[in-house]
Amino acid sequence: MASQEKHYIELSDILALRCLCECGTVLSLPLKLDAEYIAHSLMECPGCRKKWLDGVRNENRNKIVSLASDVQAVIAVIGSESDLKFDVCLEIAPDPDSADKESGKG
């Protein structure tokens, strides 16, 4: 018989968007930040100043900003005293490094 391990993360464990530039600079944007601030922060790398997502009507930037606000909105609904009868988690891929260690390959 084969066994399979599943990995889940609760939405409330998601704290920020992490952006890693080609230059190595990491930008962490807490989800609780204002959507306009997040949108502005995604325009260029704070390290090398390379353009990331530019333009007021940039569809890609809007999707990323929407992700941040949507996750926060769902967290608020789940955390409130609503009449939801279930919890929501995201299934995530296992860490490939830990799989190698467990199988003796790493």
> pLDDT tens for residues 19-71?
999 999 999 999 999 989 998 999 999 999 999 886 656 788 888 889 999 99
In the prediction, which pLDDT does 96 show? 79
Residue 20 tokens, joined? 């890693």
The total of structural domains in the chain comes to: 1
77 domain-assigned:
yes
CA 14-18-22 angle, 5° bins: 160
Q: Is the pTM of this model over 0.85?
A: no
Rounded Cα distance between 60 and 73, Å, is 20
Residue 72 domain boundaries: 7-93
102 domain-assigned:
no
Spell out the SS3 assignment of the chain: CCCCCCEEEEHHHCCEEEEECCCCCEEEEECCCCHHHHHHHCCECCCCCCECCCCCCCHHHHHHHHHHHHHHHHHHHHHCCCCCCCCCEEEECCCHHHHHHHHCCC
Mean pLDDT across 67-77: 89
Give the residue carrying structure tokens 């204002």. Answer: 34
11 domain-assigned:
yes
104 domain-assigned:
no
